[in-house]
Amino acid sequence: MSTITKILIANRGEIACRIIRTARRMGIATVAVYSDADADALHVEMADESVRIGPAQASESYLKADAILDAAKRTGADAIHPGYGFLSENPDFVDKVEKAGLIFIGPSAKAIRAMGLKDAAKQLMEKAKVPVVPGYHGEAQDLVVLAGKANEIGFPVLIKARAGGGGKGMRKVDTQADFPAALSSARREAKASFGDDRVLVEKYVATPRHIEIQVFGDSHGDVVHLFERDCSAQRRHQKVIEEAPAPDMPQDMRAAMGAAAVKAAKAINYCGAGTVEFIVDASDGLKADRFWFMEMNTRLQVEHPVTELITGLDLVEWQIRVAAGEQMPLRQDQLSINGHAVEARIYAEDAGKGFLPAVGRLAHLAFPDGDIRVDAGVRAGDEITPFYDPMIAKLIAHGRTRAEALSKLAGALGRTEIAGTVTNTAFLARLCRDPDFASGQLDTGLIDRNIESLTAVEPAPDHIIALAALAASGMVRDDAAKGDPVAAIGPFEIWGAPRRRVALKAGDAEEGFEIERLGAKDWRIGGAGFETGGVDLAMVCADGGDWQFSTAGVTRRCRVVCAQDAVTVFHEGVTHGFVRPSGARGAEQVGGGDQVVSAMPGIIKQVLVEPGQAVSAGDPMVIMEAMKMEMTLNAPRDGVVSEVLVSEAAQVTDGAILVALEAQAKAA
């Protein structure tokens, strides 16, 4: 048995902070590593020691095994925790860690290799008598063979990268005609994400649920399962809301899936935390003979907190103890489920624009108080950069029942305040309250079916628009000296009724407003966008970001955050964002019907057009990768390409013009 006294965390953000908290509670020192982009990050501040390992790009920092091992040597760490992502499932890294005489807090390199390639893993599971999805897992990779196998399986099929996970390199294909383009796209994304463009082809289950089993093994040969998690609420094959246990799970199916997961782990002598993922045919409810092995994640999962809340355990502590050679703290018959837990991943992304990832500095960040768990790796003032996954935090709620847990989570999402970047909190809150989801009638297609209602933009009411315009005007002073009208309105404005004009943009609509003082704390905000021509706000008080005002005899309270280029109003669980057109967002002035413009920094993967080429609206023109996601930029209208301003592998900035069309009058 080994003693672990200092852990180097080969990761960043939320999971690094999560590991540090447990290590600190156990009396174990921690070392953080960081890239140039993370020099001032929260995980660096929290750790006992920290070491710079390279530039912002992950390939030059968090994926540099030698730099991480050098940091461990320099700080005297005796163990490395990989978190998830980056090098967490890289068997070569595990070999290097152990060769350096350090403890790897995770499974063996042999176990990772056994499950690292989906095709080989499925062949192994077939031998272990674990049910596997029908499909082609062979070595031949040319288009003719793969397309032929897809025909044999029957459409729709799912193309999946054989390496990695997280929905990368995965494409659903409905017809034979769509197969070549989907295969090319899946291979390209798989190569960029995992360095391996080989794929497998599987039957697409029409009413699928994604249910996974948390397993744990130790070096003494014991393996247990910690019950299931349902991760069926997905978009682009990436999990959005996870929960434990699975809704409407029959006891016989829970036992069968748990036994299959333990059998899978024992087949590779698994040690540590792992997750065995299954696809379930829910077309006729959940039944014990309707689940198939998909893959095994040989690491801790992003969604592990829901398992912790229903079992009362700390899985990171279990990882550390098992890595040190201890037996697992509990046997299978000592484990039980208590209540229900749900987790929502808050991302910097625009749900209304196809979940486009976003960047920005967090001008304001406040999470709800009360009975809610928040796992975050950022704080107010931190920047969401284009270099890493744009997750801001995870909110996890626990209740006696699923309905209670969902209600807590929806309320907590409504009380979460984030300004400085667009987020998916409104989408997540709507999903919690979606009738199908709330009733447990879920499958992996639920979000796509209800996408319009889930991503609908809720227009701000007139009194909120008026308040944002008033805040943007700068005419209301912080009411620090309560009761002193001169302090509230300024010594040189008290005798007149000053007016000021401001412009704000909500979505694509820009409006001009005229602010008029009616009294010490009374205002009229005029604008063509108001049905009545103007809104009166009475008894306006601003105490820091906390505002109070009255309209039509109703007093309201909200929080307002003013940044250089934006005003954000948080009111009744809804975030209303407004942009100042004259602010620093130069990209707002770029682009239009004659141009294809980058919405964020990224790398050009493929240019599909050339000057002089005729295109139709919607034709793909450029494929780029940004924030771990591949996206296709399409022609905004019919026309002729006049200029291509980028080449493959070029790095572009937010607002960069990529392709230009001839002026409308010249278009063919």
Which residues are known to be catalytic?
299
Is 246 in contact with 278 (CB distance < 8 Å)?
A: no
Residue 468's SS3 state is helix
Nearest to 455 by CA among 478, 430, 483: 430
Tokens representing 192? 């960029």
What's the residue count for the chain? 668
**Torsional sign, CA 242, 243, 248, 253:** positive
- List the beta strands (DSSP E) in 489-533: 499-506, 509-517, 523-526
- Residues near 312 by Cβ (< 8 Å), separated by ≥ 6? 338
Written as one letter, the residue type at 540 is V
Give CA–CA dist 601/427, Å, rounded.
24
Is 467 in contact with 537 (CB distance < 8 Å)?
A: yes
Give CA–CA dist 277/230, Å, rounded.
10
Give CA–CA dist 224/114, Å, rounded.
19
H-run or E-run covering 17: helix 13-25
Tokens representing 631? 């996206």
HSE (side-chain half, CA atoms, 13 Å) at 74: 14
Instruction: Note the maximum CA span of the chain.
Output: 88
Give CA–CA dist 254/11, Å, rounded.
33
Tokens representing 36? 């140039």
Three-class HEC string of 133-164:
CCEECCCCCCHHHHHHHHHHHCCCEEEEECEC
Burial class (CB in 10 A: 0-12, 13-18, 19+), 299: buried
CA angle 640, 643, 646 (to 5 degrees): 130
504: phi > 0 → left, psi -120 to 50 → alpha, else beta; which? beta
